[in-house]
Amino acid sequence: MKPRFVLHDHRKPRPHFDLRLEEDGVLRSWAVPKGLPDDPAHDRLAVAVDDHELEHVDYEDEHKSIADDGTWEEHDRNDRRLVFTLHGRSGSRRYALIHTGDEQWLLHLLKDQGR
C-alpha cells in the first residue's frame, strides 16, 4: 500500500495550507502559506511543523478542509532535499522540498514531471 498524503486548507489562525506526507507511522507536516506551487519558476515557502497522527489524514472541522488527498511516492532524498510525486484527485505532480535551514523549506514544482 502506497503512503498517503493530504493537503489541508486551514483557515485559522491565518489562511494557509498544510501538506502532510505519511512516513514512519506519522504524517510529516509542513505549513505552506500560499499553497502548492503551480509554476516551476515560483517556489513556495514551506515551514516544517510537528508531525501529526495518521488519523489526521481524514480530519476536517469548521476551520480545516481537505483541498486534496491521495498517495505519494519518493524518488530521491538526501539531507537537504526530498523529491516526490503527489498522486491526488486531479492528477500527479512532481515536487521537491528543499531544506534551507531550521524549519524553513522551499517547495518547488519540478519542470521535469517524469512523463
One-letter amino acid at 32 equals V
Written as one string, the DSSP assignment of 11-62 is -SSS-EEEEEEEETTEEEEEEETT-S-SSTTS-EEEEEEEEEEGGGGG--BT
Confidence band, pLDDT 50/70/90 cuts, at residue 14: confident
Q: How far apart are CA 5 and CA 29, in angstroms?
A: 10
99 lies in some domain: yes
Domains: count for the chain: 1
pLDDT in tens, 80-114: 999 999 999 989 999 999 999 999 999 999 998 86
95 lies in some domain: yes
115 lies in some domain: no
* Residue span of the structural domain in which 27 resides: 4-109
Q: How far apart are CA 63 and CA 11, in angstroms?
A: 5
54 lies in some domain: yes
Q: Are 17 and 6 in contact (CB under 8 A)?
A: no
pLDDT at 87: 98
58 lies in some domain: yes
22 lies in some domain: yes
76 lies in some domain: yes
Q: Return the closest-CA partner of residue 31 out of 40, 41, 44.
A: 44
Confidence band, pLDDT 50/70/90 cuts, at residue 115: low
Q: Are 104 and 84 in contact (CB under 8 A)?
A: no
34 lies in some domain: yes
* Cell numbers linked to 112: 521535469
